[in-house]
Amino acid sequence: ARKRLLKLKKTPAVTRDGTAIKLMANIELPDDCPHALDAGATGIGLFRSEFLFMGRGAPGLTVPDEDEQFEQYRRAVVAMKGRPVTIRTLDVGADKPLDPTEHTALNPALGLRAIRYCLAEPQLFLTQLRAILRASAFGKVRILFPMLAHAFEIDQTLGMLEQAKAQLREQNIKYDLALEVGAMIEIPAAALALPMFVRRMDFLSIGTNDLIQYTLAIDRVDYEVAHLYDPLHPAILQLIGMTIAAGQKAGIDVAVCGEMAGDTKLTRLLLGMGLREFSMHPAQLLSVKQEILNADLSLIAPLMRRIMRSMEPGDILEAVEQLQLM
């Protein structure tokens, strides 16, 4: 079966009825790029840059400097040979502590993490932004910001990006003037206030891992509540559906980069919701492609109306299972 899948590497991801789908890879380090290419990824949809900052051996806080970061981002960009590389800015805190020896917040998932941390540490953030911008001169880079919820956070973040660009211009350092910026939609408030995002952003990427955690109020790393973690909860489907629809309406790309994107049981559901860009662990990519090649959007559509109108988990589950048989 693995062999049959490998044959799909170069096959374009197109549904039976002719809709092209972008299949991108999630990576943690530049060394993961060959795996992304082996799986036939059309780009990197999520480079979790925090992995450059984590587990650096020394106890406490050690941070890669601008040149070291630049070199790592550039390596990924060059390895992907012109395909887009979406670099997410530092998403630390909660399940990914930058300094495991320092732990004070009672609710780290609700605390100073991700973009909140970066906005509170402007020098650290500017350093990363400059490093990413410098890498953008070597290929197609997109910047993705995690955990945005407030309009002022978006504005402050974009202001910092402008500041980083100005600093590079002052030093005559090149970067891609057409660099696209995107927001993770992973806090329910963001999915419920999409106009705030679409007018300020070039693309969106739905982080279903956190979106589920925050919508259902269950800690994603607490096994005692793991049975409550349900991607098919009607509230989750509504939030995802709204985000995809808002992107379509505004003419900007929307991806899913959480675990849902790599779950073949959910591929047809996401296609039916209008999703055209999936980003996942490279190991899942060819199986998802297989699902796409076998899917027919016109057959999926009638069941989708039933799913998206339903507030009954039993109905939803039954319809999602039917989707897989089509």
Q: Which spans of this chain sit near ligand PEP (rule: CB under 6 A)? A: 46, 48, 91, 186, 207-210, 257-258
In order of 88, 182, 271, 310, 321, the CA distances from 314 in angstroms are 36, 35, 21, 9, 11
Instruction: Give, in order, the Cα–Cα distances in Å from 171 to each of 163, 165, 166, 226.
Output: 13, 10, 9, 50
φ, ψ at 47 (rounded to 5°) = -105, 105
By CB under 5 A, residue 93 contacts Mg ion = no
Q: Name the residue nearer to ligand PEP (CB basis): 180 or 186.
A: 186
Binding residues for Mg ion restricted to 208-237, rule: CB under 5 A: 210
Residue 209 C-beta: closest distance to Mg ion, Å: 5
For residue 272, state whether it binds Mg ion (rule: CB under 5 A).
no
Q: Rounded CA gap, 287 and 90, in Å?
A: 29
* Binding partner selected for residue 258 from ligand PEP, Mg ion, none, CB under the kind-specific 5 to 8 Å limit: ligand PEP
Q: How far is the CB of 50 from ligand PEP (least distance, A)?
A: 8
The entry of ligand PEP, Mg ion, none near residue 208 (CB within 5 to 8 angstroms by kind) is ligand PEP
Residue 41 partner contact from Mg ion, ligand PEP, none using kind-dependent CB cut-offs of 5 to 8 Å: none
Residues 133/138/139/142 CA torsion (nearest 10 deg): -10
Q: Which is nearer to ligand PEP, 46 or 135 (CB)?
A: 46
Say how far apart CA 78 and CA 90 lie, in whole Å. 21
Among 30, 40, 45, 207, binds Mg ion (CB under 5 A): 207
CB of 115 to ligand PEP, least distance (A): 12
| Selection from 29, 68, 70, 66 nearest residue 46 by Cα | 29
Q: Residue 239 in contact with residue 215, Cβ under 8 Å?
A: yes
Residues 157-196 that bind Mg ion (CB under 5 A): 186
Contact residues for Mg ion, defined by CB under 5 A: 186, 207, 210
